[in-house]
Amino acid sequence: MSNQAPESYEAAYAELLTIVEALRQEPSDLDQMIEQVKRAQELIAFCREKLRSAEEELDGLEEG
């Protein structure tokens, strides 16, 4: 798990799915779980921003 910004929406989404699957497994170290949840929050924010940006771009195309 990396703390770097993902390269793309797809990379962020794939990493997010990996984290979700890991959290569904048997309970593990609490500190590790906290770090995974923090990273998931970062990835969700990244994905939301990418989607917002894409929506704005598409809206601009419709207006133009």
| pLDDT recorded at residue 18 | 97
Q: Distance between CA atoms of 46 and 19, rounded to whole angstroms?
A: 15
CB 6 within 8 A of CB 12: yes
pLDDT at res. 63: 79
Backbone angles phi, psi at 16, to 5 degrees: -60, -45
| Whole-structure pTM value | 0.85
Paired tokens of 1: 């798990």
Can you tell me the distance from the alpha carbon of 10 to that of 49, in angstroms, rounded to the nearest whole number? 13
| pLDDT, tens only, 25-34 | 977 799 999 9
7-50 pLDDT per residue, tens: 999 999 999 999 999 999 977 799 999 999 999 999 999 999 99
